[in-house]
């Protein structure tokens, strides 16, 4: 006499269902942990970067990338670094120097920039708010845009989509590069 055990539900379908259930539980747990109290996430939509090499992007945009002096002037010694954010007034030379020494990128534009140009620059600042200062600068004459970091500067004659692409590449390469970062 042969005894047959009753078959339990199982086999491959049961195995797959168990793994799918476990995966769903992990997704739900992650969603609950990452939920920020129902507040909508703030996101900034940036234009795509087509050029991957900073020098080529700068040339195509009519911008230049150059080294800059790394000395502390008397103003910078006494100044506080400008905190990352969007400014409606120019930052002082000393505050700019202290900021770049701390690894912050300082983006300055001519005060006569259009609302659309200022909005696009604001979007770039908001995409990396902890590392970027955005401010007008009356000192800009030949260029519409100047992006400064410790030891480097990007200067653009116009604020164009290509110039903004060069700005993104410059910021990506030099953010956090100061000696105090």
Distance CA 32, CA 45 (A): 25
Q: How much is the average pLDDT of 64-86?
A: 75
Residue 21 reports pLDDT greater than 80: no
Hey, what are 22's tokens?
Answer: 């476990």
Q: How far apart, in Å, are the Cα atoms of 26 and each of 13, 18, 35, 39, 97? A: 20, 13, 14, 22, 47
**pLDDT tens sequence across 87-142:** 999 999 999 999 999 999 999 999 999 999 999 999 999 988 889 999 999 999 99
Strands 152-156 and 63-67: antiparallel
Average predicted confidence (pLDDT) for the chain:
80
Q: Residue ranges of the domains in the chain?
A: 9-41, 54-174
More confident residue, 77 or 80: 80
Contact 159, 41 (CB under 8 A): no
- Of the candidate CATH numbers 1.10.3470, 1.10.8, 2.40.50, 3.40.30, the domain formed by 54-174 belongs to 3.40.30
| Euclidean distance between the first and the last CA atom of the chain, given in angstroms as a whole number | 81
Is pTM beyond 0.85? Reply is: no
């Amino acid at each position: 006499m042969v005894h047959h055990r009753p078959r339990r539900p199982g086999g491959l379908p049961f195995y797959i269902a168990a793994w799918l259930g476990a995966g769903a539980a992990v997704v739900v747990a992650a969603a609950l942990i990452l939920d920020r109290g129902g507040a909508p996430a703030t996101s900034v939509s940036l234009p795509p970067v087509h050029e991957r090499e900073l020098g080529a992007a700068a040339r195509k945009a009519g911008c230049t990338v150059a080294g800059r002096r790394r000395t502390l002037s008397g103003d910078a010694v006494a100044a506080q670094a400008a905190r990352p954010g969007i400014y409606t007034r120019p930052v002082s030379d000393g505050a700019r120097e202290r900021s770049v020494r701390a690894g912050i990128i300082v983006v300055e534009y001519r005060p006569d920039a259009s609302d659309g140009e200022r909005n696009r620059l604001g979007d770039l600042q908001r995409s990396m708010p902890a590392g970027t200062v955005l401010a007008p600068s009356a000192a800009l004459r030949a260029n519409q845009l100047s992006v400064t970091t410790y030891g480097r500067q990007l200067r653009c004659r116009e604020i164009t989509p290509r110039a903004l692409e060069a700005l993104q590449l410059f910021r990506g390469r030099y953010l956090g590069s100061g000696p105090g970062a």
